[in-house]
Structure 1
Amino acid sequence: MHHSAKQIAENATFQAFINSYLREVDSGHWMESREWIQEQQLSIPLSGESVAEIELSGQSVKFAVEVLYRSRTGRHVIGHALKYCSNRREWIHQDRLPMMITLIHEMHLMAKANGCHELSSHFDELVLRMIESYQTMAAYIEARMNDEDSLYSEDCTFIEAEQSLLFGHWLHPTPKSRQGMTGWQQPSYAPELKGQFQLHYFQIDREMVKESSNDQETASQIILQSIRKSMPHLTVPEKECLIPMHPLQAQWLLQQDYVREAIEKDLIKDLGSMGPYYSATSSIRTVYNPEEEWMYKFSVPVKITNSLRKNRFHELRAGTAMAELIKKIRFTEKHPVFRMIDDPAYITALFHGQQESGFEVILRFNPFQEEKQRGVTSIAALVQDSLPGKRSRLHRTIERIAGEEARDIRDVSMEWFRKYWNCAVEPIIRLYDEHGLALEAHQQNSVLDLSSGYPEAYYYRDNQGYYLSNLHRETLCELLPVLEECQELFYEDALIQERFTYYLFMNQIFSVISRLGQDGLINEDRLIKWCRNQLSSLEKGLSGQGKDFIRHILQSEKLSYKANLLTRFHDVDELMTKNEQAVYTYLPNPFAGKNKEENYAEAASAVV
């Protein structure tokens, strides 16, 4: 069956939206399909195992969705959408886009009824972003429909994996929302369209520049050496230095009065685009060149999913501090399969009255150069849904191993998951236990070396995603005094465990379990039981925060979950709120022995 790009994009948007609605807003009324069909005397054939009814009391509307695959840990696979027609007293097919808009309107009515007038006013923004995300996704799919090898190859390069996320966040209502990036800019700057571009350079008076580096060379020296490889005759006066910029951010900066004034005073020279070509990674604002030792992470004037993406000054400082801390605690020496991608240098230009000028650039070490770039993929790219008729990258990887080793695919899946756990999960929990350091280790921040097929090493990336326990504050500050200036990195353990639960389990581990189950490679229940046993065994050998964390995971009836639909509905820019707080909710814990009849989507919403 031929599927158009718009049909595929609409289905992907619907899958993410309905799953989010069932988790965060209304868990619905679930029944086995046979029982429901018999009760409703349905004439429409359904092949799914379950049906979930959603009643919209504010509009006197009732919907039902067919559930083709019901996941204990991840996202359900939704089939037909139906609406009850009271005039005809029967269920009829429902178009998906109007259904999503109707559900958003119901959220608006619920918010108004609860007296939440200020927050309810943002439903129009959600509708706008959802449609924009869907249209953007359709354009990406249209461009990549016949690009199966680079989308799903198990032997992909780092940048091919980064460019393969056609559907984006698996449980976000607007995963491809790119407000601020126009259609004509997408081919150059959207990773999904495989564009390449030169950076825009500014030559700036050193009196205005603030930089820091843990490396033997300063940030400005690293930048100059990099561009001189392609422009060997380039000269820069000693009293000035170069700052590279993402072209989108450069366009924004050139419209700012304080930048124009500095250019008129000859404090800043606009050199334009030059030097080597870079590709956007999955975050859009971090750029990569396989021949360069460093990646650059920029601010960009684009709202991506929930937030306007800006480098905050405290993040620049945190990047260098955490790179130094990781060296001092020597954790990666004890756990060589666990690796951190450092952000050990930064540079920016200072302007009076501007906390951040927009010139903030983070230098990130590039471990995926030349021959080291192949067989590396983020977990997000590994577990993402494939285009119709194709297989996910994880499915293809495990099938290839099973064929080469002539083994049962379930046994290979179990061994693959065990090796994944050993490099990606257990070390992260031990890091928190031993040093009070938790990581925002979600799918996109988590990169696996799969050069042999099996997970050989795990890489963590993100200078915005560190949580230091207040209980370890004194010890860590003695070890690295500069942490006294990074108070925003320290949190109470109750909050850390909420965030850590979501990022490590709900977002990362459960996505792998769900993908393996949905692809028919191994039963989810078997993996849940194995994880429970591993956690119980690990807990016995721990003595710090990790021990309490595992007990929380194993014993809590519900686990915290970041509610992206509610965050988007309330138009919360989490990067700009106190403690970077999104809206959180709580979902039944698969490790607590929930049976099939207890709806995983049951949720009690709360703002943490």
Structure 2
Amino acid sequence: MQDFSRRPTSPASLEWADRLAATSFFNALLRETSHWWLEDNGSDETAVIPLTASRDISLRLHLKHRSLSGRCRIELPVIRAREDERQAISLEQAVEALLESPWLCEHPLVGRLDEARRDTFFKSVMGSRDTIAAALAGRDDLEHLGHGPLGFLEAEQGLLVGHDFHPAPKSQAPFNAEQARDHTPEHRASFALVWWGVSPARAAGDSSRETAAAAMMHDLLPEALAERLPVGFSALPMHPWQSRFLQGRDDVAAMINAGELIVLGDEGGQHVRRWYPTSSHRSLYCPQAEWMVKGSLSAKLTNSLRVLHSDEVMRGLRLDRWWPDVRPDISEYFHLMQEPAWLGFKNDDGEIDEASLALLRENRIPSPEATSNVLATLTQPLGEPGQTLLANGVRRLAARESLSERDAALEWFDAFCRRVLSPLIRLVVEEGIVLLAHQQNIVVRLEDERPVGVDYRDCQGSGVTDHFLARHPGEHVSQDHRITSDMLKRYFPYYVIVNSTLAVTAALAEADLIEEGVLVSHLRDHLTALRERAGSGDTTLLDHLLDSDTLEVKSNFFCYLSGINESTLDDPARIYLDMPNPLSIPSADD
């Protein structure tokens, strides 16, 4: 079992941070390229990655476990091999060696890899590793994070590793170390919101409720700041880092000097409210507030600049209007955190300045201690192999109810399929509403260690299919909110099945609680049952999941290596690639 008292200042704990960083890095690389092969060592395997065209020099990775989705349990050190020579090297040396390998530039997303891009990538990968190390060093609750149970806020601010398949899952450009401590969830940051006043001529916003967006925002404004807000001005909440960033722009400074924008200040005073960054950094939670606040953050986290876009904020308003018509037996356990209002300001050309945007999201969490845990933290491989928060919860379930660990794992997964996965798929099949739910958007409600429902967040990652439009012929839907059949078959399986559901099967199998093939067999049975009951629904998604030989996955490694900003791609399909569909692979019998 992991000794959680160790800190990254010791050699053993530095190795801990290296292992976590190396796992995400190599998981992504091995998934996205065929320039490697496996050597079977009996109980485990070695991945061999050639560094030269002649294959005489290679990196060797010891894999203690490899899941059906490609999530590996990597054991350090990395070995550099040349003929019969074997040399243990550091993670830094392994990344440097890979960046000198000629085949790395053959990927169509990368092309010619110049020195500047190579250097930026290397620094980002190592910076991500250092972020993990700093988070480990700053926590006094690592044993609790690894074993749980956790409350909502603990789980949100306990995601220390990040994406399972990314070369730099904790990259935080352009935050420096001090800013990271002050503003990031892994450092358990909390702060006061900064409020701005926006003149009527500059204000932009909309609401799907009877109350205007400006009025809804104003209800959140502390009384002391409300006294400073001129009549007719709208109150705009802002992340403190974003507030300083915008004040550094010449055009914004000019609007402030002209009195069109006013920086009212932060929520100071005797009864200051603290806002906590959740696992997404830019979504802020205050236990005492009716709403969460999600705002633009002009920082590149993983693949994209975290700035809200005008078309995205409108999606929440549409979903808020449509949701009352969703079948009650779908929404009974599946709660959508509605986003019914947004606000920002316009530039000199009359266009919305997207860096200023903020939206309100329903706060459905009754208290920070509520046993509602983000899925990414549940499956996070923080401790020694098998010591995920999910696996330890299943072990508690088994002990309390006198079940075998295998039966407890199967019971947990079946409950996940019924209460979390099934509503997401039925929304597509029966309603034509698509929610691209990845691990950081799925907040699992737990009772007695079992999933009993989900609070889903992030209306930006949503769309509707032709099935929805056929059911609502008079409904106006902008082109950016429409999901074609090809888009549905590409994005939904990646986010909901590969990224989320198979993270659950991987975590349970890595812990030796149950064979992954058994879980995938149950998953296939569950999807088959949904298809059989679909009736007049659209089975395009289920047909693809059950019958296709391949599923598409995002190329995080090469997207990041190329420097692409994912959120502004004209054709996001070009950063996706095929992987074998685990649902089509013969599974172990139950």
Scaled by the length of structure 2, the TM-score of the pair is 0.91
Structure 1: where are the runs of 5+ without partners? 35-47, 597-608
User: For residue 555 of structure 2, what is the aligned residue in structure 1?
Assistant: 563
Q: Deviations over 1:118-171 (max 9, x none)?
A: 79973333212111111111111111254422x245432211111001111111
- Summarize the Cα distance change of 1:115–1:122 in structure 2 as closer, same or farther, 3 Å threshold: closer
Cα distance in 2 between the residues matched to 1:94 and 1:71: 25
Question: Does residue 264 of structure 1 match 2:257?
Answer: yes
Cα distance in 1 between the residues matched to 2:65 and 2:217: 50
Question: Does residue 157 of structure 1 match 2:151?
Answer: yes
Question: Does residue 30 of structure 1 match 2:55?
Answer: no
Question: Does residue 63 of structure 1 match 2:55?
Answer: no
- Summarize the Cα distance change of 1:222–1:403 in structure 2 as closer, same or farther, 3 Å threshold: same
Which of the residues 185, 189, 197 maps onto 2:183?
189
Q: Deviations over 1:40-96 (max 9, x none)?
A: xxxxxxxx511222222348422222111121234111224222233xx23332333
Cα distance in 1 between the residues matched to 2:73 and 2:385: 15
The Cα of 1:98 is off from its aligned counterpart by: 0.9
Q: Deviations over 1:387-412 (max 9, x none)?
A: 34893211221122222212212111
- Summarize the Cα distance change of 1:331–1:196 in structure 2 as closer, same or farther, 3 Å threshold: same
- Summarize the Cα distance change of 1:296–1:233 in structure 2 as closer, same or farther, 3 Å threshold: closer
SS of the equivalent of 1:358 reads helix
Question: Does residue 240 of structure 1 match 2:262?
Answer: no
The Cα of 1:117 is off from its aligned counterpart by: 2.9
| 1:26 and 1:54 in contact (8 A); partners too | no
The Cα of 1:203 is off from its aligned counterpart by: 1.7
Task: Look up the equivalent residue of 1:366 and give its one-letter code.
Answer: N
For residues 174-323 of structure 1, what are the structure 2 equivalents within 5 Å?
Answer: 174-228=168-222, 231=224, 234=227, 236-275=229-268, 276-323=273-320
The Cα of 1:343 is off from its aligned counterpart by: 0.8
User: For residue 126 of structure 2, what is the aligned residue in structure 1?
Assistant: 131
Which of the residues 407, 428, 436 maps onto 2:432?
436
Task: Look up the equivalent residue of 1:568 and give its one-letter code.
Answer: Y
Cα distance in 1 between the residues matched to 2:525 and 2:110: 46
Which of the residues 32, 47, 50 maps onto 1:52?
47
Task: Look up the equivalent residue of 2:244 and give its one-letter code.
Answer: Q
Measured on the aligned residues, the alpha-carbon RMSD in Å equals 2.5
User: For residue 379 of structure 2, what is the aligned residue in structure 1?
Assistant: 383
Cα distance in 2 between the residues matched to 1:115 and 1:375: 43
| 2:206 and 2:342 in contact (8 A); partners too | yes
Cα distance in 2 between the residues matched to 1:301 and 1:73: 32
Judge which range, 395-404 or 329-338, deviates more. Answer: 329-338
User: For residue 397 of structure 1, what is the aligned residue in structure 2?
Assistant: 393
User: For residue 106 of structure 1, what is the aligned residue in structure 2?
Assistant: 101
Q: Deviations over 1:287-323 (max 9, x none)?
A: 0011111011111121100111101111111111122
The Cα of 1:559 is off from its aligned counterpart by: 1.2
The Cα of 1:450 is off from its aligned counterpart by: 0.7
SS of the equivalent of 1:117 reads coil
| 2:548 and 2:584 in contact (8 A); partners too | yes
Task: Look up the equivalent residue of 1:344 and give its one-letter code.
Answer: P
Cα distance in 1 between the residues matched to 2:464 and 2:385: 45
Task: Look up the equivalent residue of 1:570 and give its one-letter code.
Answer: S
User: For residue 166 of structure 1, what is the aligned residue in structure 2?
Assistant: 160
Q: Deviations over 1:260-280 (max 9, x none)?
A: 222222222222222522010
Cα distance in 1 between the residues matched to 2:110 and 2:425: 41
| 1:13 and 1:134 in contact (8 A); partners too | yes
SS of the equivalent of 1:387 reads coil
| 1:69 and 1:78 in contact (8 A); partners too | yes
Task: Look up the equivalent residue of 2:289 and give its one-letter code.
Answer: E
User: For residue 116 of structure 1, what is the aligned residue in structure 2?
Assistant: 111
SS of the equivalent of 2:23 reads helix
Cα distance in 1 between the residues matched to 2:155 and 2:109: 44
Q: Deviations over 1:331-364 (max 9, x none)?
A: 3554401121111111111122244252211111
Task: Look up the equivalent residue of 1:195 and give its one-letter code.
Answer: A
Cα distance in 2 between the residues matched to 1:257 and 1:152: 46
Cα distance in 2 between the residues matched to 1:323 and 1:538: 26
Which of the residues 528, 540, 563 maps onto 1:536?
528
Cα distance in 2 between the residues matched to 1:27 and 1:509: 27
| 2:24 and 2:166 in contact (8 A); partners too | yes
Question: Does residue 364 of structure 1 match 2:361?
Answer: yes
Question: Does residue 554 of structure 1 match 2:554?
Answer: no
The Cα of 1:26 is off from its aligned counterpart by: 2.7
Which of the residues 113, 122, 135 maps onto 1:140?
135
Judge which range, 231-240 or 255-264, deviates more. Answer: 231-240
The Cα of 1:500 is off from its aligned counterpart by: 0.7
The Cα of 1:114 is off from its aligned counterpart by: 11
User: For residue 322 of structure 2, what is the aligned residue in structure 1?
Assistant: 325
Cα distance in 1 between the residues matched to 2:313 and 2:323: 16
Q: Name the count of aligned residue pairs.
A: 573
SS of the equivalent of 1:207 reads coil
| 2:146 and 2:387 in contact (8 A); partners too | yes
Question: Does residue 572 of structure 1 match 2:572?
Answer: no
The Cα of 1:545 is off from its aligned counterpart by: 6.5
Judge which range, 395-404 or 280-289, deviates more. Answer: 395-404
Task: Look up the equivalent residue of 1:8 and give its one-letter code.
Answer: W
| 1:65 and 1:78 in contact (8 A); partners too | yes
User: For residue 15 of structure 1, what is the aligned residue in structure 2?
Assistant: 23
Question: Does residue 515 of structure 1 match 2:535?
Answer: no
SS of the equivalent of 2:274 reads strand
Q: Deviations over 1:366-402 (max 9, x none)?
A: 00133x7510111101000123489321122112222
The Cα of 1:417 is off from its aligned counterpart by: 0.8
| 1:351 and 1:357 in contact (8 A); partners too | no
- Summarize the Cα distance change of 1:228–1:55 in structure 2 as closer, same or farther, 3 Å threshold: closer
| 2:73 and 2:385 in contact (8 A); partners too | no
User: For residue 416 of structure 1, what is the aligned residue in structure 2?
Assistant: 412
Q: Deviations over 1:418-470 (max 9, x none)?
A: 11100111111111111222211111111100133111111221122113224
User: For residue 85 of structure 1, what is the aligned residue in structure 2?
Assistant: 82
Which of the residues 335, 338, 348 maps onto 1:339?
335
Cα distance in 2 between the residues matched to 1:235 and 1:26: 61
| 2:417 and 2:526 in contact (8 A); partners too | no
SS of the equivalent of 2:360 reads strand
Cα distance in 2 between the residues matched to 1:191 and 1:302: 15
Cα distance in 2 between the residues matched to 1:95 and 1:220: 53
SS of the equivalent of 1:302 reads strand
Scaled by the length of structure 1, the TM-score of the pair is 0.88
Cα distance in 2 between the residues matched to 1:565 and 1:538: 34
| 2:14 and 2:133 in contact (8 A); partners too | yes
Cα distance in 1 between the residues matched to 2:217 and 2:557: 40
| 1:85 and 1:91 in contact (8 A); partners too | yes
- The percent of aligned pairs where both chains have the same amino acid is 25
